[in-house]
A = this chain, B = another copy of it.
Amino acid sequence: MKLEKKLLLLGLLQSREMHGYEINKLLEHRCGIPINLKKSNGYRLLSKMEKDGWITHKTEKDGMRPQKRVYSVTDLGKRAFLDLLKENLRSFSKPEFAGFVGLDFMGFLPPVEASALLSERLELLKEHFRSLDEISESVRKAHPSIEHMHLYYSNEIELVSDMIGRLGEES
Contacts and interface: CB of A to CB of B under 8 A. Distances in A.
Contact of A7 (B34, B86, B102): B102
A114 B85 CA distance: 10
Contacts of A81: 108
Nearest to A89: B117
A157 B111 CA distance: 34
Contact of A89 (B8, B98, B118): B118
Given A92-B121, A155-B155, A100 B34 contact: yes
A104 interface: yes
Interface string A91-115: 1111111111111111011000110
Interface residues on A, range: 35 or more
A25 interface: no
Contacts of A109: 82, 85-86, 89
Interface of A: 1, 4, 7-8, 11, 14, 34-36, 81-82, 84-86, 88-106, 108-109, 113-114, 117-118, 120-121, 124-125, 128, 142-145, 147-149, 151-152, 155-156, 159, 163
Given A90-B121, A100-B144, 12 more contacts: A1-B98, A34-B101, A36-B94, A85-B102, A86-B117, A89-B109, A91-B121, A100-B148, A103-B144, A104-B144, A106-B144, A152-B155
